[in-house]
Every structure is written in structure tokens, then in C-alpha cells.
Structure 1
């Protein structure tokens, strides 16, 4: 049954060695076979290596001509999505990184690689994608959230700072609830992110003290509610 299952799925030895991070066997198979062999679900060895977090295998496959824009059948996602979801901060140094297609939104969630990276706190990948022109204001299909909103909601201060410095719109209101990044950060109790966004939202040289106190008072109220 196991053999028939593998045959039906069209899983090859290269898929398995990439998935399990077996460097020597992967290198041997790459000397004989094409790197972009597909499973029944349109998965390449590169996708499986990226999903599993095997940086050395990812690099090996790229160096052997693996196609970085292939998409799987379930999510219609490219390997860069799985790279952004993983913790491979060394991805920024991998060959061909600057040639990746930046804005193919995935089929299931309508999110870009920059969104995934901002959402999951991978600063190096966020920086790489911004440097290569990724759209800062792309909205996902589910909630209409931008990369900045995702980073603010999840409390990733360094990424929020990076996005703001790159010109992300901190006044943008999501299409689902009409909330700005500041409101998302406040509701989730991320004080450092709130303070960072306040620095951009409130120009203290021109704003009245009442305006600034209104923001800080609201945050203090939310913090009290969390404790109760």
C-alpha cells in the first residue's frame, strides 16, 4: 500500500531527500535527474526543502537550476512563501534571491511573501523583499490587511520600524473593520509597537497635548481591561 501511495503521488527519491534534508543523497540525485520533478500535487523538491527548513538543500537546488516560481496545487504558492514562513534567515544570502518574483499572492489566503515574512517576524526576509521592490500596500483577500498591519498585530517591532522607514502607510484602514495599524497593535497589547506608531501618527511639534494624551489614555484603558 505504501508503495502504491508513493507511485500515485509521484513522489521521487529527490523529493524525499529534499524533504528530509539529506544533502549527500540530494547531490547524487541531482547529478542524474532534473531538479523540478513534480509530485501529483505539483510540489517540487525545492518547495519541500523550503517547507521543511533545509537551507543547505534549498541552496543546492537553486544552484542546480531549480525553478523558483513553480506553484503548488493546494495554495498556488511559490517556494518563497515557504521560505518566509520558515526561520531561514540565511535565505537573504542564497543565490538567485534577488530574482524572485515578488507579488504572486497565494490561492488560499491571497497573501504575498512580504506579508508572510512580516506576519511571522522574519526581519532579514522582509528587508530583502523591500529592497527588491515588494509592494508595501498589498492587501490580503481575507481581511484587507497590509504587511504593516500584520507586523503590528503580531508585535514585531523591528519589522514595523523597517516598514515605516520604507514608506508603508501607517494611516491605512483595513477593509474588514476599518482599523489602522495603531488600533491593531493596541488591541493586541503590543506597547512597543504602539509607541513606535504613535511617533509617526502624532507629530508632537504640532499636535496638542490633548491629542497625544487621548492615544495614551486609550492604550492604558486597554491594558487595564486585559488584567481584569
Structure 2
């Protein structure tokens, strides 16, 4: 169950790049949860777009991408400041996938 969602998170989760662009151009923000959603689902183009727009939660997004095997996204996030050594518990990873 999702405790909090926004149009940006939904568009990022669904892989809808054009919608993400429109929302960002109109001031949408979510403190980085859209980045986690896109990274978790392997949407590299959206991850790049969100990073370019200053998205946070890079460490959590990198952990989720690693958990799901999205190597290109892990590389992208680490290259943009995600901590490759940050440790997460299994429960934290499982809960992050809900965003």
C-alpha cells in the first residue's frame, strides 16, 4: 500500500517520460520519491531527468536499483553522488519498493 503518492511519482513509476517532463516544467516535486520509483522499475531516462532536476534520495534509489538488478541505473546514481557503501536492511528495501 502506498502511503503517499503524487502525479510525479505515478508518472515516474509508469515510465511516462513526457508526463514527468511536463510535471517538472510546472514545478512538481516530491523530495526524491519519484527517483526511487523510476530506479526501482528500471526507467533510466526518467532517472536521468530527475537527477538533472535535483532529485534527492539517490542513495535509496541506488539501493533499490541494485536490489532489482538495474546496473545502468546504479552506475548513473553512483556517478551522481549516491553512496555505494550505504547499508540498508531488507525491510527498508522492501518498504522502498512501495513508492
TM-score (norm 1): 0.34
Whether 2:80 is the aligned partner of 1:200: answer yes
1:1-228 residue pairs with structure 2 within 5 A?
A: 110-137=4-31, 146-171=33-58, 180-201=60-81
Q: 4+ residue stretches of structure 1 with deviation over 3 A?
A: none
User: Quick one: distance in 2 between partners of 1:191 and 1:171?
Assistant: 14
Aligned residues: 85
Residues 146-195 of structure 1: CA deviation (Å, up to 9, x unaligned): 101000000000000000000001446xxxxxxx1110000000011111
Unaligned runs of 5+ in 2: 87-99
Unaligned runs of 5+ in 1: 1-107, 139-145, 173-179, 203-210, 216-228
SS in 2 for 1:201: coil
User: Quick one: distance in 2 between partners of 1:120 and 1:135?
Assistant: 17
Residues 43-73 of structure 1: CA deviation (Å, up to 9, x unaligned): xxxxxxxxxxxxxxxxxxxxxxxxxxxxxxx
User: Quick one: distance in 2 between partners of 1:128 and 1:188?
Assistant: 27
Report deviation, 1:115: 0.5
User: Quick one: distance in 2 between partners of 1:160 and 1:166?
Assistant: 10
Residues 60-90 of structure 1: CA deviation (Å, up to 9, x unaligned): xxxxxxxxxxxxxxxxxxxxxxxxxxxxxxx
